[in-house]
């Protein structure tokens, strides 16, 4: 191996030091000094240097986190100082007892201040540093013997491979909790779900499972984090005279510690801390299951000693559990505002983390099938943060006789329309669209939106009122509203009622693509509406098209074709469309274009300017339905400028470039003659 020149050696050492410093700023102080890009640049430079001179690679180099080959099994590790467990307090009374016992043992008049920090819900780990270098990481195991998970722990970015500075004891074992923050957990499970893999029941299981991987590359991809809450063997004796002092020393060596650590003067302050943290429990970005209180003075700790395997100087005041067992009464199906059909477990009410839970989501049919949840089952339910409670797992061994697997209903429980579940989608959907009450409000909002029928003044609150009054069941009902009805609504005078009626009237002049888009099929967005309108030219042709025919349309694949065909097949959708046409909605039908190139205006570019009597979006889509392109700026490639009143610089530019200029009347004539 070639010896690295002195300069390269110095640069590598300098880069390592800089990277370690930035890790400390980022993970320990939560106060990065440089943007990620700068950090990445330093890392790349070091990687390059090490590639050029492999002799520069050290075990503690920040490039060496995922170095090791997969293991056959984990080796056993004997803990030099046993890893203890904690006694629990479940009530204020338990806490008062704990404090009274400790004070009694310390002698009359003793006062105790406590260090408090969250009880993290992960797994305990001991990190052994020798001469400042991480040499081993071991799980707690039975407290005396654990497993050597060094290669995996090295992949956790917040755990330093080398301690900061030079002033560390020869041997230092930092102990703490490895956990997965909630966001990382959700992403991990989402990824697993989308790949059809097993999802983790909770962040704790995910952290434990990740650490017990034989291949460190798998662990490296898991979002593991670490906070230190103590130490084992330390060659120099105590690091400070208090627990909080020791934690400060560990932090200064680059080891992440909880930012929630507080020193409290007495047990009453402990109870305040417990309450306040309890209130914030749901907004923290990691799961905690209580607060750990530790007598802060190490001298007092020594005096108090241990009972069996737990110290008398520490206690875990637990929060109410976030998981509970209960019975599934039934599995029902809910219809969301986009038509998504979600299976929901109706539960025998149970208190989970202080909140009564009687429903839990089962996400989708894949989940129901995978977990095999049935009415009558005893299940674990879990709630975390403000997430909807979910069924985690069925206790198969307690399944009563005669249960039946859950099946997806073939018709929507709200409107009885066909339920569609394509192979490519995990979610099943009601095909009722406009007709389904569960989707109605959203459908009306969408129908009136700017890119659809563009009904000005029909806001969210108004739609809500129209539905509550039971006046609007489908969008066509909007066109039968009367001045009397509207003027009687909350915050609506006669004037705004009349304005709305005018806007409804104006909206009747539309285009086929706007109309299709307004029907609000999730799969038929603006672009698809336009291509469908252009290809079929008329609603009649589109209604009669079968899936194969639909698939001949550019950008329409089998999934969209199936949805569109099913929508037009449904009798009630046909009725709503007829009702809309009867209400006076109209547009100019055009000659169908079998391919976009055959559209009469294909290859022509239009620019719209000045104030026009119709919304620009409508003119744009009419032009586009004939194959034209509509652009925002005039250039030599512009075919026509459509100029409304008070047109300005675009008109001048078009004139100077010799572009053909149309007023609105000329545009209408052009469209009529296509």
Which residue lies nearer to ligand IVH by CB, 117 or 377? 117
Structure tokens at 647: 């047109």
- Check binding of 319 to ligand IVH (CB under 6 A): no
User: Which C-beta is closer to ligand IVH: that of 143 or that of 603?
Assistant: 143
Contact call for residue 320 and ligand IVH (CB under 6 A): no
- The residue (of 289 and 390) whose beta carbon lies closer to ligand IVH is 289
Q: Considering only residues 49, 56, 86, 647, which one is a binding residue for ligand IVH as defined by CB under 6 A?
A: 86
CA dist 563 → 549, 550, 560, 566, 568 (Å): 13, 10, 5, 5, 9
Judged by CB, which is closer to ligand IVH: 203, or 475? 203
From the list 1-9, 30-38, 311-319, 327-335, the region that binds ligand IVH by CB under 6 A is 311-319
Helices (H) and strands (E) counted in the chain, each on its own, are: 24, 24
Region for residue 165 given its phi and psi (left: phi exceeds 0; alpha: psi -120 to 50; beta: otherwise): left
Question: Regarding beta strands 355-361 and 171-179, do their DSSP bridges make them parallel or antiparallel, or are they unpaired?
Answer: unpaired
Please identify every residue annotated as catalytic: 119
Q: Taking CB under 6 A as the rule, does residue 311 contact ligand IVH?
A: yes
Closer residue to ligand IVH in complex, CB, 126/638:
126
Options 146, 169, 184, 230; binder of ligand IVH; rule CB under 6 A: 230
CB of 316 to ligand IVH, least distance (A): 5
User: Please, which residues have CB within 8 angstroms of residue 518's CB and are 6 or more apart in sequence?
Assistant: 446, 447, 452, 453, 475, 510
- Of 139 and 219, which CB lies nearer to ligand IVH in the complex structure? 139
CA–CA distances in Å: residue 474 to residues 142, 270, 351, 519: 65, 58, 41, 10
Q: Is 277 in the site for ligand IVH (CB under 6 A)?
A: no
Residue from the set 4, 56, 95, 124 that interacts with ligand IVH by CB under 6 A: 124
Q: Which residue of 58, 85, 158, 496 would you call a contact of ligand IVH, by CB under 6 A?
A: 85
> Residue 310 CB, nearest distance to ligand IVH (Å)?
7
Using CB under 6 A as the binding rule, whether residue 84 contacts ligand IVH is answered as yes
Structure tokens at 141: 């195991």
Residue-level length of the chain: 674
- Within 10 A of 608 (CB to CB), how many other CB atoms are there? 22
- Pairwise CA distance, residues 99 & 113, whole Å: 10
Using DSSP, state whether 597 is helix, strand or coil. Answer: helix
**Strand 171-179 vs strand 640-643: parallel, antiparallel, or unpaired?**
unpaired
Site string for ligand IVH, 330-359 (x = CB under 6 A): ------------------------------
Interface with ligand IVH, residue 120, by CB under 6 A: yes
Helix, strand, coil percentages for the chain (3-state, nearest 5): 40, 20, 40
Is position 117 an interface residue for ligand IVH (rule: CB under 6 A)? yes
Q: Which residue is listed with tokens 């009725």?
A: 575
Residue nearest to ligand IVH (CB): 124
Which residue from 626, 631, 568, 587 is spatially nearest to 605, judged by alpha carbons?
631
Site for ligand IVH contains 135 (CB under 6 A): no
Whole-number Å distance between alpha carbons of 343 and 361: 7
Strands 340-352 and 378-382: unpaired
User: Cα separation of 264 and 571, whole Å?
Assistant: 70
Identify which range of 34-42, 84-92, 473-481, 627-635 contacts ligand IVH by CB under 6 A: 84-92
3-class SS of residue 649 = helix
Q: Which of 27, 226, 229, 274 binds ligand IVH (CB under 6 A)?
A: 229
* Residue 314 interacts with ligand IVH (CB under 6 A): yes or no: yes
User: Judged by CB, which is closer to ligand IVH: 127, or 532?
Assistant: 127
Q: Judge contact between 198 and 210, C-beta under 8 A.
A: no
* Least distance in angstroms from the C-beta of 396 to ligand IVH: 29
Residue 292 within binding range of ligand IVH, rule CB under 6 A: yes
Q: Pick from 119, 251, 374, 383: which binds ligand IVH (CB under 6 A)? A: 119
Q: Smallest distance from the beta carbon of 153 to ligand IVH, in angstroms?
A: 15
Question: Does 626 help bind ligand IVH (rule: CB under 6 A)?
Answer: no
Kindly calculate the radius of gyration of the chain based on its CA atoms and give it in whole angstroms: 34
Q: What is the distance between the alpha carbons of residues 214 and 206, in angstroms, rounded to a whole number?
A: 15
Q: Which stretch binds ligand IVH (CB under 6 A): 114-122, 186-194, 433-441, 581-589?
A: 114-122
Q: How far is the CB of 103 from ligand IVH (least distance, A)?
A: 20
Query: Using the rule CB under 6 A, which residue among 239, 247, 316, 352 binds ligand IVH?
Result: 316
Query: By CB under 6 A, how many residues form the interface with ligand IVH?
Result: 15
Identify any residues that bridge with 593 across adjacent strands, giving them in sequence order.
none
- Is the distance from CB of 540 to CB of 398 less than 8 angstroms? no
Residues in contact with ligand IVH by CB under 6 A are 84-86, 117, 119-120, 124, 140, 177, 229-230, 292, 311, 314, 316
């Amino acid at each position: 191996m070639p010896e690295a020149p002195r300069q390269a050696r110095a640069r590598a050492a300098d880069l390592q030091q800089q990277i370690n410093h930035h890790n400390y700023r980022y993970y320990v102080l939560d106060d990065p000094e440089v943007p990620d890009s700068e950090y990445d640049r330093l890392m790349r430079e070091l990687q390059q240097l090490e590639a050029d001179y492999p002799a520069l690679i050290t075990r503690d180099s920040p490039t060496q986190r995922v170095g090791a080959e997969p293991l056959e099994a984990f080796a056993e590790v004997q803990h030099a100082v046993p890893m203890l467990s904690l006694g629990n307090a479940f009530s204020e009374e338990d806490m008062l007892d704990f404090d009274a016992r400790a004070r009694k043992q310390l002698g009359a008049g003793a006062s105790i201040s406590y260090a408090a920090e969250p009880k993290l819900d992960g797994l305990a780990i001991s990190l052994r540093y020798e001469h400042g270098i991480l040499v081993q990481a071991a799980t707690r195991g039975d407290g005396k013997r654990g497993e050597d998970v060094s290669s995996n722990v090295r992949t956790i970015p917040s755990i330093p491979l080398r301690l900061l500075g030079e002033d560390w004891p020869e041997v230092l074992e930092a102990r703490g909790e490895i956990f997965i923050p909630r966001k990382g957990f959700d992403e991990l499970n989402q990824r697993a779900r989308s790949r059809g893999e097993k999802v983790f029941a909770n962040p704790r299981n995910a952290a434990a499972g990740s650490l017990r991987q034989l291949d460190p590359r798998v662990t490296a991809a898991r979002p593991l984090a670490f906070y230190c809450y103590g130490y084992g063997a330390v060659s120099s004796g105590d690091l400070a005279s208090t627990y909080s002092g020791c934690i400060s020393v560990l932090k200064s060596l680059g080891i992440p510690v909880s930012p929630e650590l507080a020193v409290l003067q007495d047990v009453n302050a402990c109870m305040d801390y417990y309450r306040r943290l309890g209130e914030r429990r749901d907004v923290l970005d990691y799961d905690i299951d209580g607060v750990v209180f530790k007598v802060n003075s190490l001298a007092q700790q020594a005096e108090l000693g241990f009972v069996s395997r737990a110290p008398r100087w520490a206690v875990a005041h637990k929060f109410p559990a976030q998981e509970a067992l209960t019975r599934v009464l039934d599995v029902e199906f809910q219809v969301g505002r986009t038509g998504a059909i979600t299976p929901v477990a109706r539960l025998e009410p149970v208190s989970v983390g202080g909140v009564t839970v009687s429903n839990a989501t089962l996400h989708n049919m894949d989940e129901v099938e995978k977990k095999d949840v049935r009415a009558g089952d005893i299940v674990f339910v879990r709630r975390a943060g403000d997430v909807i409670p979910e069924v985690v797992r069925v206790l198969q061994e307690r399944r009563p006789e005669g249960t039946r697997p859950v099946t997806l209903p073939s018709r929507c429980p709200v409107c009885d329309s066909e339920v569609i579940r394509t192979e490519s989608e995990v979610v099943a959907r009601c095909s009722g669209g406009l007709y389904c009450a569960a989707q109605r409000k959203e459908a009306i909002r969408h129908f009136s939106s700017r890119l659809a029928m563009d009904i000005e003044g029909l806001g969210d609150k108004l739609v809500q009122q129209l539905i509550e009054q039971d006046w609007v069941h489908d969008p066509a009902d909007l066109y039968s509203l009367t001045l009397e009805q509207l003027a009687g609504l909350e915050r609506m005078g006669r004037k705004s009622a009349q304005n709305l009626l005018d806007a409804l009237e104006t909206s009747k002049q539309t285009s086929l693509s706007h109309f299709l888009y307004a029907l609000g099929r999730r799969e038929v967005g603006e672009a698809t509406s336009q291509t469908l309108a252009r290809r079929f030219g008329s609603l009649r042709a589109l209604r009669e098209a079968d899936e194969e025919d639909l698939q001949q349309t550019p950008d329409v694949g089998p999934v969209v074709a199936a949805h569109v065909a099913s929508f037009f097949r449904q009798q009630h959708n046909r009725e709503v469309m007829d009702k809309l046409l009867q209400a006076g909605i109209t547009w100019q039908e055009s000659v169908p274009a079998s391919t976009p190139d055959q559209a009469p205006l294909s290859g022509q570019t239009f620019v719209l300017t000045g104030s026009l009597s119709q919304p620009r979006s409508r003119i744009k889509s009419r032009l586009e339905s004939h194959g034209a392109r509509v652009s925002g700026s005039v250039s030599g490639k512009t075919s026509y400028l459509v100029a409304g009143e008070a047109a300005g610089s675009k008109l001048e530019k078009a004139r100077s470039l010799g572009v053909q200029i149309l007023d609105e009347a000329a545009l209408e004539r052009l469209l009529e003659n296509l």
